[in-house]
Structure 1
Amino acid sequence: MQPNAVKAPVPERDKGRLESASVWKLYRRLLTYARPLWLAFLVSFIGFAIYGLGQALSAKWLEMVVDTVQANEYDKRWFLALAVLGIFLLRGVGAFIGNYCIAFVGREVIHTLRTEVFERLLKLPSHYYARNSSGELLAKLTYNVEQVTGAVTNALKTLFREGLTVVGLLGYMLFLNWKLTLIFIAAGPLIALVVSVAAKRMRRLSRRIQQSVGDITESASESIKGYQVVRIFGGEEAEKDRFQQASLKNKRQFMKLVVTQSLNTPIIQFLVALALSALLFLAMHPDVMGTLTTGGFVAFLTAAGMITKPLRQLTNVISIVQKGVAAAESLFEVLDEPAEQDQGSRDVETIGDIEFRHLSFSYPGTERAALNDLSLLLPQGKTVALVGRSGSGKSTLASLLPRFNDGWSGELLLNGLPLQDFKLDGLRDQIALVNQNVVLFNGTIAENIAYGSMADASEEAILAAAEAAHVTEFVNKMPEGIHTLVGEDGVMLSGGQRQRIAIARAILKDAPILILDEATSALDTESERHIQAALEEVIKGRTTLVIAHRLSTIERADIIVVMEDGQIVEQGSHSELLEQQGAYARFHILQTDADSGA
């Protein structure tokens, strides 16, 4: 038997070839976003071609000036004076047309790409958000997208403008003396080698810079959102150090990039200077000079000198492209991430019983089962309360109903049919949700109640939902009523007020399935009494899944399910479970003691 084959390492030369192929593959994909804008591209190309022609005409004009002065033909001064005005006007018009059109293309591409990435983020499964921090995702939508702007706009602008300038000047130099021009071109391979080596390093550094920007955004975002916890628990120094380390890492990577760019430019300038010195030395040889006039000789050297600037600019294109490609790579990773699987074909016409049969579930990337061989029936129109310690699987079980998490084994049935057979949008349209961590958006109270598909709800319906959830109790004291702005994530409101708005949102949706995940946890005792009365009306006729710790919420449930380690250990009514003297009875005693102590 032959021993197991060991995979041979990829040679450095092949690595470079593969990396170059990857760069251009990514860049071609990026340019597909510009394809619909081909007309603006064409106009931009024409504009920069006019600019390049103006540069070549500048050298020709200098030749005419020198020859005119040498021949004492001063009567041509009017023509030469007007010619220089015409040349600069031509260059200005060409530069304006080229710059405007290529900028238009760039911003359109960025708008399309940013929108696509955001739309993809809205469709990605829950486990993607668990793997990636919000700071990292925000950095992709802000910093990374702007880096792509450089690859699409600045790189192409430089490539067109400076590239066509080089073509125009080289063409004029070939026309004047092809032998001297070939000597100048001989430096090209050396310049290409320097650019290639620098480009690979720039791409690596650009990736690291983008990652460090994500770390900075994440650190700042967490510290700003959790400023109260930071201050109460003395976390200022720790957060300051964490932010400084993230910022320092960004600075170091950026300075490494600056060093690479800064060395790249003078090396290339030196190579061009070598070509110019060889050119000047050989140009004075009679056999090379040939029939070149004094004006032609001066114009040739001027054109050769003028070509150094666009050549230097063209070498910077590689740096810009590498930054853009590294940024585009991170964006394409989001776009290529599989969206939520929705292979359902059935519409949800009615809501019947919901049943879990021998269902097990583990979160992606973990081995421990969050739910283990769980069987449970949620009868239509009944209220089921889930009770258990933190980490027992209550919220995980509730998250499966709207299919926030897929990939379970066993069966999850609605109306006797697999839940996966129903269309996602149709299924979620039948569910209202109130989380423990209430999410409010930076708008008015009315906009947060009538959110999303309910945005067209009448003000009367919004007020009715607000009344049912006891939102009007505090809204009536506000000058602008339900049109009061709540601030980012409802920062202008108390926890109880935010939770009541979330309950009003669920009431307004009037869905046949209701999930209450610690829906009354942030309410004071007085508010809870009002909300309990409202919820009793809301849950009538609805299949309700309640996750709660408070006895007032649990005792009224038709079925109480006690969970431990992803399994059901007891289930029944409040009185039945108390008679069993098991886990629920112990929980009941603890809660009663806690409430009486409060």
Structure 2
Amino acid sequence: MNESEEKSSWKLLIQLIKETGPPRLLLSIAMVLSLLTTTAGLAIPLLTSKLIDQGSLQSLSGRNIGWIASAFLIQAASGAVSVYLLTRVGQHVISSLRDRLWSKLLVLKVSYYDTHQTGDTVSRMTNDTGVIKNLITEHLVGFITGIISILGTIGVLFFLDWPLTLVMFSIIPLSMLVLIPVGRQMIKISKGIQDETAGFSASLTRVLAEIRLVKAYNAETMEYNRGKKGINKLFALGIREGVIQAILSPLISSIIIVVLVLIIGYGGLRVSSGAMTAGELAAFFIYLFQIIMPITSIASFFTQFQKTMGATEKIMGILSLDVEDLNLGLKEFTIHQPLTLKDLSYGYPSSADPILKSISFSVRPNSVTAIVGPSGSGKTTLFSLLERFYLPDSGEILIGDLSIQDISLRSWRSQIGYVSQESPILAGTIRENICYGVNREISDEELREAAGMAYADIFIQELPDKYDTEVGERGIKLSGGQRQRIAIARALLRKPNILMLDEATSSLDSKSEIVVQDALENLMKGRTTIVIAHRLSTVIDADQIVFLEKGRVTGKGTHSELMQTHELYREFASRQFRVPDKE
């Protein structure tokens, strides 16, 4: 890290801390107490030197002992309070930082999560904030008090005997010639460890989240070998870090021994010549140890600071990203109007060609529109645009004559109920999953009504803890049909005006499909419904079927109309219904 990069890193860290709004009053009190601690600590060797120089029992008067005892008490009391206050300030900074980062992660655009592994993002929230926490709460306190102590001690040393002080500090420039290059190597290794730890964490999260897939495909050995590579890289970096520390520790010890030899040798000459007293030389030794301890703290601070720089840059990178403004736009609007897609086009940043190309069709209120077509034709992407997870590259979506971009995201999404093929179920109870996202108190009667309409109440009542039954991570304790019915109950409780179904029965067995299909019919009553359908049998009675092919609408109409006018739709129907093609 060159000088300009180091200054930039300092500014970045200070900016990050300022943005958390640290309590300045507590910080000011802590700094004043730190000065008092240092002043009391500096007074103790001077008082001790007088006792040595007087060299008689009369010097051990109650007054002198009282002064020394008072200095010790002041140093201990003010030091303890200042450390507590600085730690409290540090904890406030980290708490505020985590709060900012968590609130930011929740409103980042979906496109961020398309390109970043979940484990890597979790590492920002836990590991990186932990690194900054260690710097502020553990090392910053020692750094601040250490700087104050060293500056005060150096001033007193020059006052006691400036020639001996100059001799003592002459070793520092020579030490820097070795310490600086070693320190730079430590910076590189620290950043490497941090990056490798984040990558290893992301890999662990990926594998453990899909552990059943790993076991089902006998992939334990493959994943072990992948993980072993990460462990070996961390091991190698740890060894390199150990080598650097092995160089630094004896080097620092040698410097301390050299300084002691200089003080003893040259100090002894100064005492014998009468230039300084024995008490002053003794005070010199005490002050030397008062410098060594803070220097150790400062060295630890700079080591931790180098680790913190990478974490700071990554956290600031997340905090600077664009977010979804959930409240920008109209809060109230008329929902019972046609939903119109007008010349809608969209392509993912990583794709060479657009996924959707000039899509246009209209959905009447309280009607059912089915989206069908081959895999990869853009059906799910179309749903993502309706949910406003992405912005279209061109064209617009209208509700009546109003663009949905002019409606606040919170208001728009509150009108939508979405049930997918594998609706997400969170770890927790059935009650928590059904009530998820509903920002009001839900009565037991409302809960049972929604579950009843979703045909979920049937199996819930058979469970030991009923609605308080824990479902496990991602609902693993429930069957596919049970998870779908809970998802439908969740949508019913939300009371949406627009319903989006991504073939909610395609992955179910025939018995579960019948029950879920009945639940969906309850959910669809009186709502504008858009369905992604792979099985035409589920949408044969839809008011409108839109056929997507390679991102384009190639047909619109009812089932009977498309059977007569659309060749590929006829082919789809022939395969599924086993009827001959119509001429």
Please point out which of 18, 36, 41 is paired with 1:55. Answer: 41
Report the AA paired with residue 66 of structure 1.
I
Q: For residue 20 of structure 1, what is the aligned residue in structure 2?
A: 6
Please point out which of 286, 310, 335 is paired with 1:302. Answer: 286
Report the AA paired with residue 430 of structure 1.
Q
Post-superposition offset of 1:279: 3.8
TM-score, with structure 1 as normaliser: 0.89
Judged with a 3 Å threshold, the aligned counterparts in structure 2 of structure 1 residues 242 and 377 are, in CA distance, closer, same or farther, namely same
Judged with a 3 Å threshold, the aligned counterparts in structure 2 of structure 1 residues 107 and 306 are, in CA distance, closer, same or farther, namely closer
Deviates more, 1:169-178 or 1:23-32: 169-178
**Does residue 462 in structure 1 map to residue 447 in structure 2?**
yes
Q: 1:486-510 CA distances to partner (integer Å, 9 max, x unpaired)?
A: 2332222222211111111111111
Judged with a 3 Å threshold, the aligned counterparts in structure 2 of structure 1 residues 414 and 277 are, in CA distance, closer, same or farther, namely same
Post-superposition offset of 1:295: 1.5
Q: Distance in 2 between matches of 1:194 and 1:40?
A: 39
Report the AA paired with residue 583 of structure 1.
L
Q: How does 1:346-425 map to 2 (within 5 A)?
A: 346-351=330-335, 352-425=337-410
Q: Distance in 1 between matches of 2:179 and 2:134?
A: 18
> Do the aligned residues in 2 keep the contact of 1:99 with 1:157 (CA within 8 Å)?
yes
Q: 1:324-375 CA distances to partner (integer Å, 9 max, x unpaired)?
A: 2221111111100111267953345212112222221111232221112222
Q: For residue 171 of structure 1, what is the aligned residue in structure 2?
A: 155
Post-superposition offset of 1:160: 2.1
Judged with a 3 Å threshold, the aligned counterparts in structure 2 of structure 1 residues 58 and 543 are, in CA distance, closer, same or farther, namely same
> Do the aligned residues in 1 keep the contact of 2:427 with 2:472 (CA within 8 Å)?
yes
Please point out which of 28, 32, 52 is paired with 2:18. Answer: 32
Report the AA paired with residue 254 of structure 2.
F
Judged with a 3 Å threshold, the aligned counterparts in structure 2 of structure 1 residues 447 and 365 are, in CA distance, closer, same or farther, namely same
Please point out which of 292, 305, 312 is paired with 1:328. Answer: 312
Deviates more, 1:167-176 or 1:58-67: 58-67
Q: 1:401-428 CA distances to partner (integer Å, 9 max, x unpaired)?
A: 1200114212322212322122211111
Post-superposition offset of 1:86: 4.5
Q: For residue 129 of structure 1, what is the aligned residue in structure 2?
A: 113
Q: For residue 60 of structure 2, what is the aligned residue in structure 1?
A: 76
Post-superposition offset of 1:556: 2.5
Post-superposition offset of 1:479: 2.4
Post-superposition offset of 1:196: 4.7
Deviates more, 1:71-80 or 1:327-336: 71-80
Post-superposition offset of 1:187: 3.8
Deviates more, 1:50-59 or 1:489-498: 50-59
Q: 1:460-488 CA distances to partner (integer Å, 9 max, x unpaired)?
A: 11111100111111101012222222233
RMSD of aligned alpha carbons: 2.6
> Do the aligned residues in 1 keep the contact of 2:345 with 2:392 (CA within 8 Å)?
no
Report the AA paired with residue 479 of structure 2.
S
> Do the aligned residues in 1 keep the contact of 2:415 with 2:497 (CA within 8 Å)?
yes
Report the AA paired with residue 387 of structure 2.
P
**Does residue 120 in structure 1 map to residue 120 in structure 2?**
no
Q: For residue 219 of structure 2, what is the aligned residue in structure 1?
A: 235
Judged with a 3 Å threshold, the aligned counterparts in structure 2 of structure 1 residues 55 and 498 are, in CA distance, closer, same or farther, namely same
Q: How does 1:493-512 map to 2 (within 5 A)?
A: 493-512=478-497
Q: Distance in 1 between matches of 2:373 and 2:105?
A: 33
Q: For residue 488 of structure 1, what is the aligned residue in structure 2?
A: 473
Q: How does 1:162-561 map to 2 (within 5 A)?
A: 162-191=146-175, 196-286=180-270, 290-340=274-324, 345-351=329-335, 352-561=337-546
Q: Distance in 2 between matches of 1:506 and 1:557?
A: 20
Post-superposition offset of 1:557: 1.6
What SS does the corresponding residue of 1:386 show, helix, strand or coil? Answer: strand
Please point out which of 153, 156, 173 is paired with 2:140. Answer: 156
Deviates more, 1:316-325 or 1:195-204: 195-204
Q: 1:442-462 CA distances to partner (integer Å, 9 max, x unpaired)?
A: 332122112223442222111
**Does residue 578 in structure 1 map to residue 563 in structure 2?**
yes
**Does residue 42 in structure 1 map to residue 28 in structure 2?**
yes
Q: 1:178-222 CA distances to partner (integer Å, 9 max, x unpaired)?
A: 222233233444555655545544443333323222222222222
Post-superposition offset of 1:149: 0.8
Post-superposition offset of 1:431: 0.9
Post-superposition offset of 1:109: 1.1
**Does residue 139 in structure 1 map to residue 91 in structure 2?**
no
What SS does the corresponding residue of 1:277 show, helix, strand or coil? Answer: helix
Q: For residue 98 of structure 1, what is the aligned residue in structure 2?
A: 82
Judged with a 3 Å threshold, the aligned counterparts in structure 2 of structure 1 residues 389 and 203 are, in CA distance, closer, same or farther, namely farther
TM-score, with structure 2 as normaliser: 0.92
Q: Distance in 2 between matches of 1:198 and 1:93?
A: 38
Judged with a 3 Å threshold, the aligned counterparts in structure 2 of structure 1 residues 395 and 245 are, in CA distance, closer, same or farther, namely same
Q: Distance in 2 between matches of 1:568 and 1:288?
A: 102
Judged with a 3 Å threshold, the aligned counterparts in structure 2 of structure 1 residues 506 and 120 are, in CA distance, closer, same or farther, namely same
> Do the aligned residues in 1 keep the contact of 2:149 with 2:290 (CA within 8 Å)?
no
Post-superposition offset of 1:262: 4.3
Q: Distance in 2 between matches of 1:57 and 1:318?
A: 29
Post-superposition offset of 1:79: 5.8
What SS does the corresponding residue of 2:556 show, helix, strand or coil? Answer: strand
Post-superposition offset of 1:562: 2.0
Q: For residue 574 of structure 2, what is the aligned residue in structure 1?
A: 589
Q: Distance in 2 between matches of 1:535 and 1:552?
A: 14
Post-superposition offset of 1:230: 0.9
